[in-house]
Structure 1
Amino acid sequence: MSVSYRAFLLRLRKLAKIALSEYGLERAKLRFITYTGNGLYQVTVPPGNPIIPGKYTLRLHQPDYMTPQFIISEMEWLSALYQEGIMVPRPVRSLKEDWLTKADGGYDVPQTRECTLIGWTEGRLLNKRIRPKHFKALGRVIGRMHEQSRRWKRPKRFARPHWDWEGLYGDGFSYGVPATDAREAIPKAHQVAFNDVLNRIREVSEQMGKKKIVYGLIHADLGLTDNVAFHAGEARPFDFDDCGFGYWVFDFGVVLGQYFIDTNDASRTIQDALISGYEETADPEDIGIEYLNLFMAARIAQLMFFYQASGMAHPQHMEESKQGVNEHAKYLKKILKRIS
């Protein structure tokens, strides 16, 4: 069954209202933000409700992406980070004290959604006038998150994806098609560069192992112009939807790789600023900083794999996916020249 986009959004809003009732927030103001698989709403809670008045984010999670246990574990980590004083979105429990609720409108489209409520992230999103000081501020909070991750005793049944080689390019995380098929479908013009990065990452990963000094719970999707707000000189990460276990240095690779794609800037100045901020809150020694450029390439190759696999799983979006693969391949080849 298919419905128009307008009808889809009207139905999605009904699901959002059903979800809010699980928190006793029937009188809250609901404002649509975006739909990119997850449906996102800003919720303004007035006084006289079961939770503290203010702004919140309601997420209607994308079906068949993260499992319910993965989502619950994300909320548990957010809660632990928030309790440590790190300015991440504060997760909110339902009236039944659950991290996760379900909204069922009786529709085939959109289908039943898992829902979560978290605090709204105040601050400014950067899209211009980005300075080394912003990288330094982001480095500080990445260091704090890594340190918390090293010390934290995770709850029983805690589960998040692993962004190791299998998670990034294999069947450790599924985008709906066999990973081998997606890797082999990368255009021939990009196969040499793509496979070069995958082989290097496999080799370095085997050398590094997965001890706490190099590997742990990371955000895995931090871009300076995306998923970070700045307030009073402080970087405030949000959108932990892809958080999981990975190499600490991969968080650096994501930040710098995304910035390189956005601006064509991979200068030592911004790398040094990010590392300098990290050094204020965590010890970068032995985490693999010497492989920073390689992990930038690893991120770009991951995005190429994602676009290719997603296009194959959803043929109606194949043209857009092809553009994504080709665009990211240009930057992958530039980074490889730096490594070589």
Structure 2
Amino acid sequence: MTQPITPLITPPMYDDTFLARLEAGLRAALPRWGLPETTHLRLLTISENATFRACDPLSGRDLVFRVHRPGYHSRAEIESELAWLAALGREALVDTLTPIAQSDGALIADIDDDGLTRHVVAFELLPGREPAEGEDLPRWYRELGAINARLHAHARAWERPEGFVRKVWDFEAMLGEVRLWGDWRAGLGLDAPGRAVLERTAQVLRARLEAYGKGEDRFGLVHADMRVANLLVEGERLSVIDFDDCGFSWYLYDFAAAISFAEHEPYIPALQAAWIEGYRTVAPLADEECAILPVFIMLRRMLLTAWIASHAETPTAQAMGEAYTHGTVALARAFLAAHDTEGNDTGAAKPDGGRATS
């Protein structure tokens, strides 16, 4: 008999009482950044972490605060993220958030949340808005490809500080035994036939990724979450925010993460073509490398299916629901038809993404 699957991450209920408690803890910490407790706080997003905008009408200061989920990132992991941001800022490789230190120079503060310790960091507010689906998204993804190429080149060359530690986003962490974001088998609304399809898909993904390997030219430090919600456009400028999931993975996984929650949309091939074009303006990217992109897209889709199940209380998960799981199964069927190694061509994956058409 199949045992019920317990997600590794069980988030708290995001009700008004919880949010009020979180805001109170943050408000008490504001003086560490020279802000009065009367500063206006507004919740921006809540997912892995809670993000607030803090505006002080007296001084005019306007900061963004990220209150971390307990038990997800250690202090050393957060310090490592901030170290990479600082290095990128010094070299002006990408427009992104600048960490703001407290009055004592520390970048991380701790607040008490009903007995739990939460880490808090502050960032300079960046102007801009999320690019809309109806806009010329390929234009922005062309620029995003160039940004990715610059970040990848930096990651290969950067001498990381002693003690640098970030999560490793490989197959085991995503769909294997580590399950950083939970188990895809707990996908909302997943039935037995769908589970069988995803089980076979996971096997194919594992084999393809093992064949692709983790050579230094293919696997390293990446942003890992450049989806539309983490992009800001202002005039001709594209900024990238939220390095909270940055870690060690395949460089081309960055594109799969950039189309999170939209893998099934008909405009994805255009975004992929634009991203590749932009990447190639900065660094070479062989056609054989591009051919692996459908594998990473399917890998990310299954990871997000697990994330939705293990973060069911979050607004993002509630918006996706069971429909996302059903879409994952449909994409997996198409993926297997194109890329299953049993009885099919065992060559490189085709660059069509194995997408289901509707």
TM-score by length of 2: 0.79
- Determine helix, strand or coil for the equivalent of 1:222: coil
- What is the alpha-carbon distance in structure 1 between the residues aligned to residue 223 and residue 71 of structure 2? 20
Q: Which residue in 1 is equivalent to 2:330?
A: 330
2:268 to 253, 266, 269: 266
Q: Which residue in 2 is equivalent to 1:282?
A: 283
Q: Which residue in 1 is equivalent to 2:28?
A: 18
1:61 to 49, 64, 68: 68
Q: Which residue in 1 is equivalent to 2:248?
A: 245
2:123 to 101, 118, 121: 118
Residues 20-39 of structure 1 correspond to what in structure 2 (within 5 A)? 20-26=30-36, 28-39=39-50
Q: Which residue in 2 is equivalent to 1:72?
A: 79
- What is the alpha-carbon distance in structure 2 between the residues aligned to residue 82 and residue 336 of structure 1? 42
- What is the alpha-carbon distance in structure 1 between the residues aligned to residue 83 and residue 300 of structure 2? 26
- What is the alpha-carbon distance in structure 1 between the residues aligned to residue 111 and residue 143 of structure 2? 38
- What is the alpha-carbon distance in structure 1 between the residues aligned to residue 107 and residue 170 of structure 2? 27
What is the identity, as a one-letter code, of the residue corresponding to 1:57?
A: V
Q: Tell whether the 8 Å contact from 1:228 to 1:238 is kept in structure 2 after alignment.
A: yes
Query: Deviation string for 1:267-290 (max 9, x for gaps)?
Result: 2x3322110111122332488322
1:35 Cα shift?
3.1
- Determine helix, strand or coil for the equivalent of 1:293: helix
- What is the alpha-carbon distance in structure 1 between the residues aligned to residue 208 and residue 13 of structure 2? 48
- Determine helix, strand or coil for the equivalent of 2:301: helix
- What is the alpha-carbon distance in structure 2 between the residues aligned to residue 307 and residue 180 of structure 1? 9
Query: Deviation string for 1:281-332 (max 9, x for gaps)?
Result: 2332488322111211111111123334556x99xx9997545422432333
Give yes or no for the alignment of 1:295 onto 2:296: yes
Q: Tell whether the 8 Å contact from 2:185 to 2:195 is kept in structure 1 after alignment.
A: no
Indicate the larger mover: 289-298 or 195-204. Answer: 195-204
- Determine helix, strand or coil for the equivalent of 2:54: strand
TM-score by length of 1: 0.83
Residues 109-148 of structure 1 correspond to what in structure 2 (within 5 A)? 111-131=116-136, 132-148=138-154
What percent identity do the matched residue pairs reach? Answer: 24
- What is the alpha-carbon distance in structure 1 between the residues aligned to residue 252 and residue 13 of structure 2? 43
Q: Which residue in 2 is equivalent to 1:166?
A: 172
- What is the alpha-carbon distance in structure 1 between the residues aligned to residue 204 and residue 277 of structure 2? 26
- What is the alpha-carbon distance in structure 2 between the residues aligned to residue 173 and residue 120 of structure 1? 33
| Cα gap change, 1:88 to 1:331, in 2 (>3 Å) | same
- What is the alpha-carbon distance in structure 2 between the residues aligned to residue 191 and residue 67 of structure 1? 33
- Determine helix, strand or coil for the equivalent of 1:189: helix
Indicate the larger mover: 248-257 or 113-122. Answer: 248-257
1:339 Cα shift?
4.2
What is the identity, as a one-letter code, of the residue corresponding to 1:235?
A: L
1:193 Cα shift?
3.1
1:95 to 98, 103, 112: 103
Q: Tell whether the 8 Å contact from 1:146 to 1:282 is kept in structure 2 after alignment.
A: no
Q: Tell whether the 8 Å contact from 2:174 to 2:180 is kept in structure 1 after alignment.
A: no
| Cα gap change, 1:236 to 1:242, in 2 (>3 Å) | same
- What is the alpha-carbon distance in structure 1 between the residues aligned to residue 65 and residue 318 of structure 2? 30
| Cα gap change, 1:214 to 1:124, in 2 (>3 Å) | same
- What is the alpha-carbon distance in structure 2 between the residues aligned to residue 287 and residue 156 of structure 1? 35
Q: Which residue in 2 is equivalent to 1:43?
A: 54
Q: Tell whether the 8 Å contact from 2:144 to 2:278 is kept in structure 1 after alignment.
A: yes
- Determine helix, strand or coil for the equivalent of 2:45: strand
- What is the alpha-carbon distance in structure 1 between the residues aligned to residue 307 and residue 210 of structure 2? 23
Structure 1: where are the runs of 5+ without partners?
none
What is the identity, as a one-letter code, of the residue corresponding to 2:143?
A: A
- Which structure has more relative contact order (CA 8 Å, sep 6+)? It is 2
- Determine helix, strand or coil for the equivalent of 2:292: helix
Query: Deviation string for 1:209-247 (max 9, x for gaps)?
Result: 222200111111122x32111123332111222111100
| Cα gap change, 1:273 to 1:233, in 2 (>3 Å) | same
- What is the alpha-carbon distance in structure 2 between the residues aligned to residue 339 and residue 121 of structure 1? 42
Q: Tell whether the 8 Å contact from 2:36 to 2:56 is kept in structure 1 after alignment.
A: no
| Cα gap change, 1:138 to 1:181, in 2 (>3 Å) | closer
| Cα gap change, 1:257 to 1:306, in 2 (>3 Å) | closer
State the aligned residue count.
Answer: 323
What is the identity, as a one-letter code, of the residue corresponding to 2:108?
A: L
1:54 Cα shift?
4.6
| Cα gap change, 1:18 to 1:55, in 2 (>3 Å) | same
What is the identity, as a one-letter code, of the residue corresponding to 2:195?
A: Q
Q: Which residue in 2 is equivalent to 1:156?
A: 162
Q: Which residue in 2 is equivalent to 1:193?
A: 197
- What is the alpha-carbon distance in structure 2 between the residues aligned to residue 8 and residue 144 of structure 1? 40
Structure 2: where are the runs of 5+ without partners?
1-11, 341-358
| Cα gap change, 1:271 to 1:117, in 2 (>3 Å) | same
- Determine helix, strand or coil for the equivalent of 2:64: strand
Give yes or no for the alignment of 1:207 onto 2:211: yes
Q: Tell whether the 8 Å contact from 1:92 to 1:118 is kept in structure 2 after alignment.
A: yes
- What is the alpha-carbon distance in structure 1 between the residues aligned to residue 156 and residue 297 of structure 2? 23
Query: Deviation string for 1:151-183 (max 9, x for gaps)?
Result: 1111111111111111111243434x6x59759
- What is the alpha-carbon distance in structure 2 between the residues aligned to residue 3 and residue 245 of structure 1? 30
What is the alpha-carbon root mean square deviation over aligned residues? 3.2
- Show structure 1 runs of 4+ deviating over 6 A: 317-320
What is the identity, as a one-letter code, of the residue corresponding to 1:11?
A: R
Indicate the larger mover: 199-208 or 162-171. Answer: 199-208
